[in-house]
């Protein structure tokens, strides 16, 4: 059997598909799994031994469809469910497909404060697409396979802090990060991309003996290796949070305008009895204000992050 999985972005969403890949490979005899994604995310999948081929979106959807039709798939799993993947499915007539439930209505009701019912975790919704073949979730959590790589010399004991986030309203502002570092005795290794480099440099300059700024200096695999060696992981709602979960680290995640109720929180194996610590500001009734995020707080006050208690976060971090 030859199966194509569609998920074009982004880091965290792709990592969250890995239980589907693993369970298919383990539970269906002689299955061949291909995964289509954007070129910038190819590296997340290349080292995964459960994926036989990674195909990237080069140019138009029509060009990709021509390539995919040559593969003669037995089934397509659409784990993205957007306009692009719908177009792609329409250009592969005759190939059966399964599409995961996005639960956008439930997310909208949460944003509009019309319901408090949380979404089912996206991993379980992804797994529903393979039930027809008798494939079941194995309880083993997420996977992240990184290639062997060198990382800078770091202290023997540290907290990896993923300070990034695609949207500004998912990230603690610089002043709160500085307060948190000051309130803690730990050594922090800051992780993020080039967009986070200036904040990382500023924090490292304030605390030169207790902060190592790696933002914009490491590949994704190098960041994963730093996380793997950390004592604990502090993170915002970002892709590195899901990589930390895949590596089964102790996680404290700080939530701003989004909420774990959207079904995208850290997902750990069933055997891990101590779950992640989820920190959300109390009494901020305008959150969640979006299922994704904004470049700035729509109300101007950014209370979902500015009202975070750094003393409480530091205490929780120390207890982990």
CATH code for the domain in which residue 197 is found: 3.40.50.2000
Last residue of a domain, one of 116, 133, 150: 133
For residue range 21-32, list pLDDT tens digits in order: 999 999 999 999
**CA-to-CA distance for 118 and 260, rounded, in angstroms?**
8
169 and 306 share a domain?
yes
Asked whether residue 251 is domain-assigned, the answer is: yes
pLDDT over 70 for what percent of the chain?
100
Average pLDDT over all residues of the chain: 97
Last residue of a domain, one of 91, 117, 133: 133
Asked whether residue 204 is domain-assigned, the answer is: yes
pLDDT at 104: 96
181 and 104 share a domain?
no
For residue range 183-228, list pLDDT tens digits in order: 999 999 999 999 999 999 999 999 999 999 999 999 999 999 999 9
179 and 242 share a domain?
yes
**CA-to-CA distance for 146 and 219, rounded, in angstroms?**
10
128 and 173 share a domain?
no
Asked whether residue 149 is domain-assigned, the answer is: no
Decide: pTM greater than 0.85.
Answer: yes
Q: Residue range 100-111: average pLDDT? A: 97
Segment (H or E) for 188 = strand 188-191
106 and 249 share a domain?
no
Segment (H or E) for 89 = helix 83-90
82 and 186 share a domain?
no
Last residue of a domain, one of 133, 151, 167: 133
Q: Is the separation of the CB atoms in 251 and 276 below 8 Å? A: yes
Q: Is pLDDT at 274 greater than 90 in this prediction? A: no
315 and 167 share a domain?
yes
For residue range 47-102, list pLDDT tens digits in order: 999 999 999 999 999 999 999 999 999 999 999 999 999 999 999 999 999 999 99
Domain count, the chain: 2
pLDDT over 90 for what percent of the chain?
98
Asked whether residue 150 is domain-assigned, the answer is: no
Q: Is pLDDT at 269 greater than 90 in this prediction? A: yes
185 and 301 share a domain?
yes
165 and 89 share a domain?
no
For residue range 140-182, list pLDDT tens digits in order: 999 999 989 999 999 999 999 999 999 999 999 999 999 999 9
196 and 301 share a domain?
yes
C-alpha dist (Å) from residue 48 to 21, 52, 155, 183, 240: 9, 9, 29, 39, 17
Asked whether residue 141 is domain-assigned, the answer is: no
174 and 288 share a domain?
yes
The pair of three-digit structure tokens given for residue 22, joined into one six-digit string: 């693993």
Q: Is pLDDT at 275 greater than 90 in this prediction? A: no
Burial of 12 (0-12, 13-18, 19+ CB in 10 A): buried
pLDDT at 168: 97
Asked whether residue 77 is domain-assigned, the answer is: yes
pLDDT at 98: 98
Task: Show the domain range for 119.
Answer: 2-133
Asked whether residue 75 is domain-assigned, the answer is: yes
**CA-to-CA distance for 152 and 315, rounded, in angstroms?**
29
Q: Classify 82 as helix, strand or coil.
A: coil
Per-residue confidence band for 273, with pLDDT thresholds at 50, 70 and 90: confident
Asked whether residue 154 is domain-assigned, the answer is: no
Per-residue confidence band for 262, with pLDDT thresholds at 50, 70 and 90: very high
125 and 173 share a domain?
no
């Amino acid at each position: 059997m030859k199966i194509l999985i569609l998920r074009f972005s982004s880091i965290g969403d792709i990592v969250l598909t890995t239980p589907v890949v693993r369970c298919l490979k383990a539970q269906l005899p002689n299955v061949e799994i291909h995964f289509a994604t954007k070129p910038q995310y190819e590296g997340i999948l290349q080292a995964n031994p459960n994926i036989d081929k990674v195909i990237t979106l080069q140019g138009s959807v029509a060009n990709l469809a021509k390539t995919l039709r040559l593969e003669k798939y037995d089934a397509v799993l659409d784990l993205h469910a957007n306009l692009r993947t719908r177009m792609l499915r329409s250009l592969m007539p005759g190939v059966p497909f399964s599409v995961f439930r996005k639960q956008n209505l439930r997310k909208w009701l949460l944003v509009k404060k019309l319901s408090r019912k949380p979404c089912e975790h996206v991993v379980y919704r992804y797994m529903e697409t393979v039930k027809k073949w008798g494939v079941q979730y194995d309880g083993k959590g997420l996977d992240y396979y990184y290639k062997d790589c060198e990382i800078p010399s770091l202290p023997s004991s540290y907290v990896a802090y993923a300070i990034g986030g695609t949207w500004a309203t998912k990230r603690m502002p610089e002043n709160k990060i500085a307060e948190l570092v000051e309130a803690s005795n730990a050594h922090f290794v800051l992780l993020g991309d080039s967009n986070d480099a200036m904040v990382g440099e500023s924090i490292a300059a304030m605390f030169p003996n207790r902060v190592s700024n790696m933002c914009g200096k490491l590949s994704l695999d190098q960041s994963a290796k730093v996380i793997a060696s950390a004592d604990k992981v502090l993170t915002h709602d970002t892709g590195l949070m899901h990589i930390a979960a895949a590596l089964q680290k102790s996680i404290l995640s700080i939530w701003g305008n989004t909420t774990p109720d959207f079904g995208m929180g850290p997902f750990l194996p069933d055997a891990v009895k101590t779950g992640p610590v989820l920190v959300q500001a109390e009494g901020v009734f305008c959150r969640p204000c979006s299922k994704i995020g904004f470049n700035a707080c729509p109300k101007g006050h950014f209370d979902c992050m500015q009202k975070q208690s750094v003393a409480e976060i530091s205490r929780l971090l120390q207890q982990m």
